[in-house]
Amino acid sequence: MKRTVFLDVEALPHHAFGSRSPMWWGTVAFMVIEGAMFAMLVATYVYLRGAENVWPPPGFAPPSLLWGSLNTAILLASLWPNHKVHKAVEELDVSATRRWMLVGDLFAVMFLAVRVLELGGLNVRWDSNAYGSIVWLVMGFHTFHLLTDAVETLVLTGMMYTIPSERRMVDVSDDTLYWNFVVLVWLPLYVVVYWLPRWL
Amino acid sequence: MNPPERDEPSGRRAREVVRRDEPHRPAAEERRLLAATWGRRPGLWGWLTSTSHQEIGRRYIVTALVFFVLAGIGALLMRLQLARPENGLLGPDLYNQVFTLHGTTMMFLFAVPVMEGFAIYLVPMMLGTRNVAFPRLNAFGYWLYLLAGSFLWGASLLGIAPDAGWFSYVPLAGPEFSPGKRADVWAQLINLTEISALIVAVEVIVTTFKQRAAGMSLDRIPLYVWSVLVMSFMVVFAMPAVMLSGVFLALDRLVATHFFNPFEGGDALLWQHLFWFFGHPEVYIIFVPALGFVSSIVAAFTRRPVFGYPAMVLALVATGFISFGLWVHHMFTTGLPQLGESFFTAASLLIAVPTGVQIFCWIATLATGRPRFGVPLLFVLGFVATFVLGGLTGVMLASVPLDLQVHDTFFVVAHFHYVLIGGAVFPLFGAIYYWFPKAFGRRLSERLGRWQFGLLLVGFNLTFFPMHQLGFDGMPRRVYTYLPGRGWENLNLLATVGAMVIGLSVLLFAANVMRSLRRGEPAGHDPWAADTLEWALPSPPPVYGPLHLPVVVGRNGLWEPGAGTTFVTGLDPHAREVLVTNFLDADPELRETLPGDSPWPLVSAVVVAATFVGAMFTPWAPVIGSVPLFFALLAWAMPEKEEREEAREQERQRQAGAATP
Amino acid sequence: MTRRRWTAAPSLLLAALTAGCGALPAALDPAGPQAARVAVLWWWFLGVCAVVYLLVVGALAWAAWRGRRRGARRGSPQSAAPPAWADDPPELSADPARERRLALAVAGAAGATVLILIGLLVGSVITGDALAGARPEAELTIHITGRQWWWEVEYPGEMASERVITANEIHLPVGAIVHLEMTSADVIHSFWVPRLHGKIDLVPGRTTHHWLAAERPGVFTGQCAEFCGHQHAHMGLLVVAEPPERFAAWLAAQRRSAAAPDTAAEARGLEVFLDSSCVLCHAIRGTPAGGRTAPDLTHVASRATLAAGTLANTPGHLGGWILDSQGVKPGNRMPPNALSGEELQALLAYLESLR
Ligand code: HEA
Ligand code: HEA
Ligand code: CUA
Ligand SMILES: [Cu+2]
């Protein structure tokens, strides 16, 4: 007769931040998927460029630098409130979390607004030629990410004010991770959209 | 029982796991509580809102098999049309729709989802946990898949089935040469099913990384789980390519972008690169889980662990990696530079090595085990005999000069049916015979199974072997008819007869399932005395899976001498708690509570599907769709009542903590 | 019983093979050096792969047989019926010496696989190089444009008057290395004449190249191999390889403009042609008809087939085609024409005179 033994896990915590949480892995997995998409967009850009002699095609100016560069600065600056949120939430400091999330929301509004101006300065339409198509798709796809991230952050801000449970705090922490991703992925895209047509 | 004391999420406080001799509750009470917590509400509502991995896995499998039959009926129609020259059964318009539907359905709605369904059903059980990591997302993925498939076949009934082939080459599928909505149906179907495939991949990866039974370190994961893990990683890196190309196509068609328009700087071959960068891994996405089936069956039916576990795992991983370097072998005739093509020949040949290693390991297992030739093992033997032939014709295709001759002919059709049916459908039938007793508590009939196997083997070879010769004799694929006098008549007729024999075999299988569901021999919990953890569960397994989560002591699961002696206790049966363990060693780390059943995944899926369908007609569909989607997702993520209380409680504790420093 | 099942597979395959027609399939009955090279490579691949296949399936059969005997010796129940299985414990602690032998065997097989693959790779690359080797020596260049669902064939000339445009039929001098320069006017097509060479795609926006030669006179059928829509099935072509003198004569004849009508009926036919919609699409050199979206009809009567290999070129078929092109080749890009009997007869008389 085998003797059975039990491991009592009752004392284990319910939530954890970072790689101990399944949610963190889920977030990372989706970041990898989207990262792969961005990488393939860039590859497509380079591929289409390789088939042309003149880039951008004759008659089209490269995208205007002003708004794009400004937005890059705003996005980079938003890493700072984001970092603050991350720290605050992992210390379970609800009031600091709320405060910094509001700052983050402000940044979100800013970069979305500037993004609209950016789109006005691309100097090409999506249906002008393949160059225009890929530039617009890169911008559109990234804007889509900005938008969903902004909405998610807004919703989580609301939750921090109404039901700041630890489970949601884990979500907030993962959201800051995702925010970093959306910002960092912009940097290569910025180079591709704004600088490649000037260099190549 | 009092709820356990709250801990800080960062886990800086108590984490000890203690041993005890007794569970917290008597088995009967635990069982009752678990059943109440994990069970779904009765009736249709419960059915629509369920998030149980068993239920969703079963639905995936059943839905995929329905699509298999539909696509198979399409195949029979094609075979009837080709049985003699200048046949009038299907005209060109219909034939083109039928072969496109057949290929698209078989690949995207049958082969991949059926493998995903098995993974969703089996992985949590094999890992000794109660559900997948994100149960609502899982339900959402299934609904998307169901809606996508129904959309494709619904559109087909309305006469707008796609008709440009399962890889929908541009410019044929572009705005100029495919007016109407057929190509849009294809593009949106692809985008929807790929989302669902990505979801399953994430479920499998996170569940395997974080919810393995205590003690199941990485080197103790069952080979089947390894295989679906590799499949999931391939999905993660491959599907984005096809989604992207699907988006390009949809945009070209809808808002006049020029991704594929060579006259405005686009390129027709861009499509082929993107599609095959996905498409080649896709075929291994189908094949690799089948290798997992084979390993499971071989171990149980030879009464020994599969020889060479490390080699098997390495081979699976290597297959996953190499498969991303082969895509150009589908494009040898497009006139790419020769040197580049030779590289892809070499890579394509290279992938034969890991595949060969696995086959050699199974042969070694068979030779040194005590095989008994039950139906699942027969299907495994049939798998080796047919798949190796298909693999070898693959090796021929990988040679550029040979491919120049046989590309886009029936030789290729023969190759891929040998590898798809031999490599995936044979193991799939084996897997169904193997796990059916677990899922339904009854065994399928062995006698009918043997007949089914024999008919499939004969019918299959009769159908597809002659196609090799047809290819060499100049018969291209995707022709709705051919002229008499070219010597193709007899072989085509033979193939048609063979297809009917396959059909008979499938009918026999259906009959076997129907019969055995009601009158099959009761199976008991472990009819094969097999090694993996699902066999410790009752058949059919209760919704919550194991009564007490198992603790794993070795690679061979239930076969290990100490197996079945250590369990986990202390999860709260009043909530849907699962044990989260760490990535490398599977040491217990957290008690995570999974969300309950919910209608919102279904609602969200309906909104998403409607948005995609709407996007065939107007670019504003995503904008309009995002509004209901926002609310559906909000409702999905809305905390339940318990969480509100939890939040209040935590808030109080935090304040108390702040007051007494 | 079970053993017979898997050994049945290969013999069945052989039976199926011999059940085919007696002659060699087209791609293995080469009429030119390119196809011959590929055929040689094929026989090598087939031989090597057949041996590999027999070895693998043989090993599988042997392993099953050996395992079965082992099981019987140890008193394992042979039946597949499970209830007895629980008393048949798994073997976990295998004899380490045996496992080492197994590991060696598997490693050896994997090593052999690598060696064989390297051999196949080398053979394949050598053949590929040989196919490419014909390039510099090309003596004749032909432009081919794929269209839904026919082939436009152009023999370029120094002067416009030396240029020949025809359709669906390519003439070559025997022995000459011919350079085919190809593109597509609409979707992707693929040029394939199995007895001469493998295929090459015709991609819109790109130019692709093929070098081939016919070693003996003959008429070789070809076919579009890349799916290109409705009538992909009926997008055939003919390659006519003839001795150089005959080829030169053919080319000279093709260079001439269309013969002027000789008889009243022919003259009437030309009139019908010019008055109908035909001119919108078709060209007949020497007449005002200059459409470029359909086969050039200047010498239509000299061709062996109609509508890209679909019909033999007889007056009856020609008439049927003109009246009911959609019945013959559903979905093709030529509309049916409602002509009176008299008009049709005249038109046929004229078209038949276009040799
Ligand atoms: C399950 C799916 C599956 C699998 C596993 C494979 C496996 C392989 N395939 Fe196949 N393939 C398809 C599904 C699959 N394929 C499909 C669907 C298409 C067509 C798509 C379309 O156009 O519609 C296709 C098309 C296709 C092409 C393009 C043909 C063309 O369109 O012209 C090529 C070319 O290289 C190719 C090669 C290979 C190779 C080298 C393997 C290798 O992985 C095979 C390796 C296995 C073995 C070799 C056997 C086992 C090994 C041993 C026993 C060791 C000893 C062996 C030797 C010494 C050689 N495949
Ligand atoms: C997993 C993938 C898979 C599977 C299993 C199959 C299975 C079959 N395939 Fe398919 N096939 C493809 C994937 C697959 N195919 C792909 C990707 C293509 C390329 C498409 C393209 O070119 O775009 C293709 C193309 C293809 C062609 C080439 C068409 C052409 O190029 O013109 C042919 C022709 O014979 C064919 C035949 C068959 C047959 C006879 C079966 C049989 O094995 C089918 C067996 C199933 C049945 C016969 C159904 C049985 C059901 C009944 C008898 C009714 C029972 C009713 C109840 C139970 C209620 N297939
Ligand atoms: Cu042109 Cu097929
Ligand atoms: Cu491939």
C189 Cβ below 6 A of ligand 3: yes
Give the atom of ligand 3 at the shortest distance from the alpha carbon of C232.
2
Q: Where are the beta strands (DSSP E) in B260-379?
A: none
The confidence score (pLDDT) of residue B353 equals 97
Residue C69 CA from chain centroid, whole number: 51
Asked if the peptide bond before residue B171 counts as cis, ω within 30 degrees of 0, the response is: yes
pLDDT reported for residue C21: 43
* Distance in angstroms (rounded) separating the CA atoms of residues B187 and B250: 6
pTM: 0.95
pLDDT of residue B658: 64
| pLDDT (tens digit per residue) in B143-194 | 999 999 999 999 999 999 999 999 999 999 999 999 999 999 999 999 999 9
Residues 6+ apart with CB under 8 A from B117: B57, B58, B59, B60, B61, B63, B64
Q: What is the DSSP string of C190-223?
A: EEE-TTT---EEE-TT--EEEEE--SS-EEEEEE
Q: Pick from A14, A15, A164: which is nearest to B647 by CB?
A: A164
How many angstroms separate the alpha carbon of residue B193 from the centre of ligand 2?
20
DSSP classification of residue B546: -
Asked if B457 and C5 come within 8 Å (Cβ–Cβ), the reply is yes
3-state helix, strand, coil split of chain C in percent (to 5) is: 50, 15, 35
Range with lowest mean pLDDT among B56-60, B389-393, C82-86, C249-253: C82-86
pLDDT for residue C203: 96
Cβ pair B501, B445 in contact under 8 A: no
- A8/B651 CB distance under 8 A: no
Q: Which tens digit of pLDDT belongs to each residue from B263-277?
A: 999 999 999 999 999
Report the percentage of chain B scoring pLDDT > 70: 97
Buried-state track C322-336, b at ≥16 Cβ within 10 A, e below 16: beebeebbeebbbee
Mean pLDDT of B64-90: 96
Residue C22: pLDDT band (50, 70, 90) is: low
Of B303 and C76, the one with more pLDDT: B303
Mean pLDDT of B111-121: 97
Q: Is the pLDDT of residue C10 over 50?
A: no
Region C222-230: mean pLDDT is 95
| pLDDT on residue C80 | 58
Residue B133 has pLDDT above 80, yes or no: yes
Q: How confident is the model at residue B637 (pLDDT cuts 50, 70, 90)?
A: confident
* Residues of B with Cβ-Cβ distance to C208 under 8 angstroms: 334-335
Res C13: pLDDT: 45
**Which of C9, C42, C103 faces B457 most closely, judged by CB atoms?**
C9
Residue type, B227: S
pLDDT score of C14? 46
User: In chain B, which residues have their Cβ closer than 8 Å to the Cβ of C209?
Assistant: 335
What is the chain C residue with the closest CA to B527?
C82
By DSSP bridging, strand B577-581 and strand B588-593 are antiparallel
Residue corresponding to tokens 């630098």: A65
B518 at interface of C, judged by CB pairs closer than 8 A = no
For ligand 3, whether the C-beta of C232 sits within 6 Å is yes
Q: Which ligand is nearest to the CA of B96?
A: 2
Q: Whose CA is nearest to atom 10 of ligand 1?
A: B394
b/e map B428-457, b = 16+ CB within 10 Å? bbbbbbbbbbbbbbbbbbbebbbbbbbbbb
Q: Is the CB of B290 within 6 Å of ligand 2?
A: no
What subunits touch chain B, counting only 3 or more CB pairs under 8 A? Answer: A, C
pLDDT at C139 over 50: yes
Ligand 4 midpoint to CA B277 (Å): 9
User: B113 is written with which tokens?
Assistant: 């989802």
Whether residue C224 has its Cβ less than 6 Å from ligand 3: yes
Residue C78 has pLDDT above 70, yes or no: no
Q: Give me ligand 2 centre to Cα C117, in Å.
A: 31
Q: Can you name the residues that pair with B550 across neighbouring β-strands?
A: B567
pLDDT for res B393: 97
Q: How confident is the model at residue C6 (pLDDT cuts 50, 70, 90)?
A: very low
Q: How many CB atoms lie within 10 A of CB C263?
A: 12
Assign C274 a pLDDT band (cuts: 50, 70, 90): very high
Q: Is the pLDDT of residue A55 over 60?
A: yes
Radius of gyration of chain C (CA): 30
Rounded to a whole number of angstroms, the CA Rg of chain B reads: 26
Instruction: Kindly give the number of the ligand 1 atom that is closest to the alpha carbon of C112.
Output: 58
C19 has a pLDDT exceeding 50: no
A73 Cβ contact list (under 8 Å, min separation 6): none
The confidence score (pLDDT) of residue B644 equals 79
Q: Which SS3 state, helix, strand or coil, does residue B530 take?
A: coil
Pairs across B and C, CB distance < 8 A: 339
Q: Please check the confidence at residue B14 and state whether its pLDDT lies above 60.
A: no
Instruction: Give the integer Cα–Cα distance in Å for C166 and C186.
Output: 18
Strand partners, C150: C147
pLDDT per residue over C144-194, tens digit each?
Answer: 999 999 999 999 988 888 899 999 999 999 999 999 999 999 999 999 999
pLDDT at B338: 79
Cβ–ligand 3 contact at C26 (below 6 Å): no
Q: Which of B397, B411, B434 is nearest to B539 (CA)?
A: B434
pLDDT higher at B641 or A111: A111
Cα B416 to middle of ligand 1, angstroms: 7
Q: What is the mean pLDDT of residues B595-605?
A: 95
Helices B446-472 & B489-519 angle (0-180, nearest 10): 160
Give the DSSP letter of residue B420: I
User: B574 exposed, middle or buried (CB, 10 Å; 0-12, 13-18, 19+)?
Assistant: middle
Q: In what order do the strands lie in the sheet with C208-212?
A: C164-167, C150-155, C140-147, C178-184, C208-212
- Average pLDDT of span B63-73: 98
Per-chain residues with Cβ under 5 A from ion ligand 4: B 280
| Residue C93: predicted pLDDT | 78
SS3 B522: strand
Is 60 exceeded by the pLDDT of residue B233?
yes
Q: Which residues contact C153 (CB under 8 A, 6 or more apart)?
A: C142, C143, C144, C165, C166, C167, C168, C169, C170
Q: What is the pLDDT of residues A78-87, one digit of tens each?
A: 999 999 999 9
Pairwise CB contact (< 8 Å): B364 & C102: yes
Cα B573–Cα B574–Cα B575 angle in degrees, nearest 5: 90
C69 pLDDT above the threshold of 70: yes
Chain B residues with CB under 8 Å of A15 CB are 9, 590, 592
Q: Give A36's contacts in chain B (Cβ within 8 Å).
A: 236-237, 240-241
Please check the confidence at residue B141 and state whether its pLDDT lies above 70: yes
Mutation target vs A (from B13, B261, B549, B591; most A CBs, 10 A cutoff): B591
Give the number of whichever ligand sits closest to the CA of residue B329.
1
Average pLDDT across chain C, whole number = 89
Q: What is the mean pLDDT of residues B279-301?
A: 96
Q: Partners for A (CB, 8 Å, 3+ pairs)?
A: B
SS3 state at B43: helix
CB contact under 8 A, B589 and A20: yes
* Bridging pattern class, strands C218-224 and C236-242: antiparallel
Look up residue A38 and give its amino acid. Answer: F
Confidence tier at C15 by pLDDT (50, 70, 90): very low
> Across all residues in chain B, what is the average pLDDT?
93
Q: Which residues of C touch B364 (CB under 8 A)?
A: 63, 102, 105-106
Pairing of strands B566-569, A5-8: parallel
CA distance B280 to chain A (A): 16
User: By mean pLDDT, which of A187-191, B151-155, C96-100 is the weakest?
Assistant: C96-100
Average pLDDT on A48-63 reads: 90
